[in-house]
Amino acid sequence: MARFRRTAEAENDLLSIWQYIAEDNAQAANRLLLSIDEKCKLLVDNPKLGAARPDIAPDLRYFSVGSYLILYREISNSVEIVRVLHGARNLGVIFHPDN
């Protein structure tokens, strides 16, 4: 069975998301992270499910979970979760800070 892996940045993103939401509602934070995890598993079996983002990186795709975006790339029978960010964030600035 194929699996996904998360970058250190994606792990940090998830921790930050959980901490922010858990300040008001830990159960909601847990539910969101479980939902994100389920979508990551779905992407392993359907890596083309997300929309391409060639403006950020040639092989980068994203998939929405509520207000958040799972940014990922397909890698040898799996997916790499690159970042998990709020959809309101400026992805161009995050991925290309010097531009």
Q: What integer pLDDT is reported at residue 99 of this predicted model?
A: 63
- Give yes or no for residue 1 having a pLDDT over 60: no
Q: How far apart are CA 21 and CA 32, in angstroms?
A: 9
Question: Taking the domains of the chain in order of start, what are their residue ranges?
Answer: 4-94
- Give yes or no for residue 19 having a pLDDT over 60: yes
Q: How far apart are CA 79 and CA 75, in angstroms?
A: 5
Q: What integer pLDDT is reported at residue 89 of this predicted model?
A: 74
Largest CA distance in the chain: 40
In tens, the pLDDT along 23-77 reads 999 999 999 999 999 999 999 999 999 999 888 888 999 999 999 999 999 998 8
What residues contact residue 43 under an 8 Å CB cut-off, 6+ apart?
4, 49, 50, 63, 70, 72, 79
Q: What integer pLDDT is reported at residue 93 of this predicted model?
A: 67
Q: Which of these CATH numbers, 3.30.70.360, 3.30.420.40, 3.30.2310.20, 3.90.1300.10, describes 4-94?
A: 3.30.2310.20
